[in-house]
Structure 1
Amino acid sequence: MTGQWIELTTADGGAFKGYLSVPASGSGPGIVLLQEIFGVNASMRSVADYYAEEGYVVLVPDLFWRLEAGVDLTYADADVAKAMGFNQRFDVERGVEDAASALAVLRARPECTGKVGALGFCLGGRLAYLMAARTDIDCVVSYYGVGIDTHLAEAQSVRCPIVFHFAELDRFVPEESRARIQEAFAHRPDAELYSYADCDHAFASPERVSFNKSASLMAHSRSIALFRKVMGPNYDLDSLWQRHSDLEFIERDVDATMATMVPQPYVNHIPTLTGGVGYRDLHRFYKNHFIPKNPQNAKVIPVSRTIGADRIVDECLLCFTHDIEIDWMLPGVPPTGKYVEVPLVAIVRFRGDKLYNEHIYWDQASVLVQIGLLERGNLPVVGAESAKKLLDETLPSNTLMARWTESAPGAAEQN
């Protein structure tokens, strides 16, 4: 997905540019994306395209235009020094006004249907907060906004839902600053503040050495949850996942299965490290090693399904007779003819209305016990018992714990 540069005008008659990225659907709610101190660089444009995939019309105004138009810096040391210089000379008050002008332009665009939120990083995180206090923006997400604590007198003017993301080790937003911000919004149920342990400033930027993937994913899910709640678009993830599963297990149509996913998806079956990353390898995996390699009587029994803003957690039982070599679960193991029941958990992440990735978990030891490849002996493993207890919690617990009887009431006195 690629965007385009458009012309923006300000309330005082100025003209500058902004990077606009539009979802494949052609329209959606809007997001004003507010830059770091490095300008509207490749990283910010990538974020814009990312949120466009999520269904938003994203506008990134060039807020350094009054200093120098088209600033596009990398994160190399020489450019860091330049970025710091721009930051020192930047007029925050004019910057908020220019962001408000961008908001007006975005709302007037035919592609923008519905509400508009703001998303900012670093300097942009502070500007996003100030937009919440000074404009009629519908919601705001602020990533490690530097200097917010110097504007807390305006906290009472914030009338929209807001999410703050901070890094525990961020020297630019130290603990005392985060504490003041948290205190200022402690009474607000529509204000969420998250601090990410062992993370530093710019933890959500893949191009930076401080990038923390797990924290970045958590923060993105929380951000999407706010945007979906306030602005939409709301997708029927349950139906999308069910359709994908039917194409895999019932219709067994590889191309149709791939059509339910983003252009570059990935699947990881955690216990066996099978799956694929990217369209080509995942298509190859589905075509040759997954869809045709499932037992004829394979059946999925749903147990529970949790649906979030951008993902589904599916808990189920996978039941089958081992009548074929199952490349993805039991690679290299000839059919044993044994019947298997195993609990399985799928964490399925979406980007917009397409599947982005799947993490699939099951107890491989239980499978190996049931097909006769693993002797229980003194090992703390079970076979089909785990599946049966999943459906019937009244079945015995702690049968593998030889010392369980020792903690029974009255056991100490008897000994």
Structure 2
Amino acid sequence: MANEMAPPEETPVPLPAAPTLAVASNIVLQPPLSRRGSGPGLVLIVDGGLPLGHSDKTLDPPPLLKWAEEGFAVAQITLANAFGQDLQRAIEALDSSNECSPKGKYGLITYAPILQSGESIFGASTSIAAIVNYSAVLIAAANAAKPILWHAAGANISSANPGIATTHVYPEASENFVIPAHENYHSASAAVSHTRTLTFLKPLTEGPYFDLEAIWNEHCLYEFGERAVEKTMGTMVEEPYVNHIPTITGGIGRERLTNFYRNHFIHSNPPDTSLELVSRTVGVDRVIDEFVFKCTHDRVVDWLVPGIPPTGKPLEVPFTSIVNIRGDRLFHEHIAWDQATLLRQLGLLPEYLPFPYPVNGKSPAPGKKFEYRVPVAGVETARKLVDENSVQSNEMFSYGIREVDA
């Protein structure tokens, strides 16, 4: 009833939904959880002892859902005795799935050690185009004819495997570091390895490819142009997050992020807010922007300068955004800027501040104090980002300490 009375822009946008299908007692098929709804095939191999549920310590979903959000049709095998038959049934399930396209060039990701007999089976399969190994055991040279990527956990593992596998070592991680509910889960290593896996797999499985720039631009249109909360959230995965690093503002998870957007961001930005793009780098799963955030500080902008009443000052602040896109929806945004230059532009950062330490071993004279010139620029930082010749470099090298009356 509440949704019927809400303004159009607040009507929740349906998220991709596709039920998991049982293929056998130890095999399931998950269609893609993307807005596109179809994608290449991927076979996952897991051990029955792995904790494959959601974790209350991270938003990272279990592998089956994560790869489906990336846009793959995913067949997951829990290891049993008849591995050869299980692999064939998983491949047949992908072959017959209307949501799996193209056919016959499937990736295989194993999170569990495979016996040599099992390796020979998927090594001989003509449907498996590439192999990714997250287990602690190197896949044998029998599969060297297929491209292999090994994510090796632990500092004691050598990365030298010429002719067998492309190897990345994660010295700070332990086995099962990519399983969110496992005690060894290591978020940084899991994120880096996931991007490497996408880079490795997509050319071999013919995708899935998405226009990441268009997805990010769509999100920004709803966020800053239409100022529509639910449309903005509709461009994001089931459990996304946003982190504005200097002010530690944002939201972790759909409910909190929706609340943040509705009450502290989308409708809180000044009407003249604009973003001037300076550079953009597009990777396999992210868009990295340099831009100048511009507005007039005519209200409390609590995500940007929380608690500070309006000053009426114009702002031009260099920003950097790292936007991680999973499939055709955003997973997270990491946004950073220099808070000091923002405060300088608002007239809230003095040119000099007290220096409470001795200088060259000497304290200030009686009735005196040391002050240092604050090495922070104002709007010049934005101008320098846009035009490298607009401001002379290295002028702060002349800054120093002064002694003044206390």
Q: Do both share a fold (TM > 0.5)?
A: yes
Return the TM-score normalized by structure 2.
0.79
CA drift of 1:320 comes to 1.5
Aligned residues: 351
Which whole-Å deviations, capped at 9, do the CAs of 1:146-187 have from their partners, x for residues lacking one?
153xx22x254x23x332111133xxxx535x43xx2234xx
CA drift of 1:105 comes to 3.8
Match of 2:324 in 1: 349
Match of 1:183 in 2: 162
Aligned partners of 2:399, 2:157: CA distance in 1, in Å? 46
Aligned partners of 2:378, 2:179: CA distance in 1, in Å? 44
Return the match for 2:133 from 112, 117, 142: 142
Aligned partners of 2:138, 2:202: CA distance in 1, in Å? 27
CA drift of 1:401 comes to 2.3
Q: Does 1:119 align with 2:130?
A: no
SS in structure 2 at match of 1:235: coil
SS in structure 2 at match of 1:346: strand
Match of 2:94 in 1: 106
Return the match for 1:30 from 41, 60, 81: 41
Aligned partners of 1:125, 1:331: CA distance in 2, in Å? 57
Q: Is the 8 A contact 1:310 1:349 kept in 2?
A: yes
Q: Is the 8 A contact 1:290 1:328 kept in 2?
A: yes
Counterparts of 1:157-306 in structure 2 under 5 Å? 158-159=145-146, 161-169=147-155, 174-176=156-158, 178-179=159-160, 182-185=161-164, 192-230=166-204, 231-306=206-281
Counterparts of 1:54-65 in structure 2 under 5 Å? 54-64=70-80
Q: Is the 8 A contact 1:29 1:116 kept in 2?
A: yes
Distance 1:17 1:40, change over 3 A: farther
Q: Percent identity at matched positions?
A: 37
Which whole-Å deviations, capped at 9, do the CAs of 1:72-94 have from their partners, x for residues lacking one?
xxxxxxxxxxxxxxxxxxxxxx6
Which whole-Å deviations, capped at 9, do the CAs of 1:246-297 have from their partners, x for residues lacking one?
1111111112111111222211111001111222222221112111211221
CA drift of 1:329 comes to 0.2
Residue segments in structure 1 that go unaligned for 5+ positions in a row = 8-15, 67-93, 186-190, 405-415
Aligned partners of 1:98, 1:281: CA distance in 2, in Å? 41
CA drift of 1:39 comes to 6.5
Greater helix share, structure number: 1
Q: Is the 8 A contact 1:63 1:99 kept in 2?
A: no
Q: Does 1:367 align with 2:342?
A: yes
Distance 1:281 1:314, change over 3 A: same
Aligned partners of 2:117, 2:316: CA distance in 1, in Å? 54
Following superposition, which runs of at least 4 residues in structure 1 exceed 6 angstroms of deviation?
Answer: 125-129
CA drift of 1:97 comes to 5.8
CA drift of 1:117 comes to 0.8
Residue segments in structure 2 that go unaligned for 5+ positions in a row = 1-16, 55-60, 353-372, 401-406
What amino acid is aligned across from residue 60 of structure 1 in structure 2? Q
Match of 1:380 in 2: 375
Aligned partners of 2:111, 2:287: CA distance in 1, in Å? 28
Match of 1:48 in 2: 64
CA drift of 1:194 comes to 0.8
Aligned partners of 1:291, 1:42: CA distance in 2, in Å? 33
Q: Is the 8 A contact 1:129 1:140 kept in 2?
A: no
Q: Is the 8 A contact 2:136 2:175 kept in 1?
A: no
Range moving further from structure 2, 346-355 or 115-124? 115-124
RMSD in angstroms over aligned alpha carbons? 2.7
Return the TM-score normalized by structure 1.
0.77
Aligned partners of 1:245, 1:130: CA distance in 2, in Å? 48
Which whole-Å deviations, capped at 9, do the CAs of 1:212-240 have from their partners, x for residues lacking one?
10000011111122233332121111111
CA drift of 1:328 comes to 0.8
Q: Is the 8 A contact 1:260 1:354 kept in 2?
A: yes
Q: Is the 8 A contact 1:32 1:59 kept in 2?
A: yes
